[in-house]
A and B are shown apart, each in its own frame.
Chain A
Amino acid sequence: MSGAHRLGRTARIARLVVLCLGAAVMLAPFVWGLAASFKPAAEIWSGSLRLIPQTFHGWENYSAALSRAPFGRFLLNGLIVCAGILLFQLIFAIPCAYALSKHRFAGRTVIFGAVLVGLLIPVHVTAIPLYLGFARLGLLDSYAALIAPFTISVFGIFLFRQFFAAIPDDLIAAARVDGFSEWAIIWRVVVPASWPAITAFAIFSVTSHWNDLFWPFIVIQSTELAPPALGVVYFRRDESGVDFGPMMAATVIVTAPLVLAFLLAQRRFIDGITLSGVKG
């Protein structure tokens, strides 16, 4: 923007006031939850608006949360599931997207058509038949059940296809002349040239599966296999909502990883999470 058009003083102050009010609402649950995680029950239920705890009860709340539910395990499950999903998504989507963008072959339009159809179908629609399938295979309540339905990301194929199309054909022709196989071209030419798209997709994939509740809610019964979102639901159910101190501590524990990651790599996170914007 050129500096030509500046707001007047009143307008600037009004802008700041409105934005600060909005920011207060946005931040309220973070601040209030964090504060409560350090307060003893008596203080939480005193109905006071005081933010800073009078008695520091953080240690007790956090150790209570950690002893009553395996939060370390939930986080680890989240990590395993997200990493597994991402790994398979990349392995399957990248070669397919490469073939769709750089090869002309009979059946290409059919595959691409399937991708476009797939983009419209959320997991909620396929959930029941998938559940029946996993039940038949005896795979319910397992990491496999958590990971398998998401090993194929049509959105990933769609996104990478767009990105790969922008890679000059000459670069790929040169690699072929140099004697690279198609497989080698993918992993040694195309992938290194596409890091921005891959990181953005990785962040998109990890955040959506880290936060997913619907599918784990259906297929997982055992506490030891629950990813973070489901872990919170289990913990709430067991605590039946009375002991807010440890509950807030638990909330902080499961929320912190992604929020911290966002604060550390903001630009990439914003690009990644808003990636579904490319979809349109």
Chain B
Amino acid sequence: MPAELAPGEGLLGRAQRLRRIGAALTGWGLSLPAALLMLVMILIPTLSAAILALTDYQLGARSIRFVGGANFAAMWEDRVFWQAFANTLIYTALTVPVSVGLGLGAALLIEADPLGRTTFRTIYFLPVTALLVAMATVWEFILHPQLGLVNVALAQIGVTGPDWLADPDWVLPSLGFIFVWQQTGYNMILFLAGLKGIPSELYHAARVDGADRGIERFAMVTWPGLAATTLFVTVITTLYSFRVFDTVAALTQGGPSNASNVLLYNIYREGFVYLRTGYASAMTLVFLALILAVAMVQMRGRRGGGA
């Protein structure tokens, strides 16, 4: 044993300090690349977007001027922005209840009986894996006003279908339908996972307790058991529906006359077609605020939900 060990405390203290420094060095060494990238790719750009929103910057322009809240004031007056904003909310209001409800329904029906369980699960999930712009092209073909599958079928029962993607009244529901088609399978899988988490003894207990009807057992066991899942599925579906872009960019370019213009597409158009960078950045912040609001609902719900 080395002789210097005698003044034990001082040495031990130094060793502890060294350990701590060493730990900090390893910790930072391992996370520094990721931390730097987070800074450069996420945090600084987000801040920059917030700063740009306060300027009149135009893409490629030499000059940049601080304009305070002018962009937001302009937004307040901008009919197209409000239409895109409203369209996004309408789209969400149309698609979220339907795709959450259908996802839940599909999951319940699939779980109700073993026959065909895997097959149906696969089929319903298939759209989730498909390239959305490509499938949107097929839907465009199916929704073709004269020769598409839908209107030809409707014509056989004597109904004249609208021009789904060119009629201002029908374009949002049509795009929403494509979203629902893709999102239902995803929601179904999440609900299936939620159903798996409900212990089967609870169903047995409910039957012994006198819940003879399926609907009673659903109300007593299934629905409360799925409360957390339902909240989560609703939130994530809402976030996805806010982000609608692909189908709009590929099929309608926001038309006819802005009837299918949505927030993201409007941001794209203002920022990269009209090159009004500062203005587009301001709209980006509105988009971010929407997302944060929904995320807050989720956190509130998780905290308050308890069980």
Contacts and interface: CB of A to CB of B under 8 A. Distances in A.
Contact of A259 (B26, B34, B130): B130
26 contacts: A2-B200, A22-B124, A28-B149, A29-B127, A32-B141, A32-B142, A33-B138, A46-B147, A96-B33, A99-B27, A100-B31, A111-B35, A115-B38, A124-B284, A131-B272, A132-B59, A182-B30, A213-B246, A213-B249, A214-B264, A228-B131, A258-B131, A259-B130, A266-B125, A269-B125, A277-B190
A152 B46 CA distance: 15
A266 B43 CA distance: 36
Interface in A20-37: 22-23, 25-30, 32-33, 36
Contact of A125 (B111, B287, B302): B287
Interface residues of A, number: 103
Given A95-B30, A218-B272, A251-B138, A103 B115 contact: no
A121 B45 CA distance: 10
A169 B206 CA distance: 42
B149 A32 contact: yes
Interface stretch (A11-19, A54-62, A79-87, A192-200): A11-19
Interface string B222-246: 0000000000100110000001011
Contacts of A211: 131-132, 246
Contacts of B139: 29
B157 interface: no
Interface residues of B, number: 96
Contacts of A27: 123, 126
B30 A99 contact: yes
Interface string B83-96: 00000000000000
Given A107-B24, A133-B45, A262-B129, A32 B268 contact: no
Tell me what chain A mostly uses at the interface: helix, strand, loop, or mixed: helix
A116 B78 CA distance: 34
Given A29-B142, A128-B49, A229-B246, A182 B26 contact: yes
Contacts of A225: none
Given A15-B112, A125-B287, A213-B249, A277 B41 contact: no
A73 to B, nearest CB: 16
Contact of B147 (A47, A122, A236): A47
B272 A118 contact: no
The interface centre, meaning the residue of A19, A23, A254 with most chain B CB atoms within 10 A of its CB, is: A19
A16 B30 contact: no
A207 B129 contact: yes
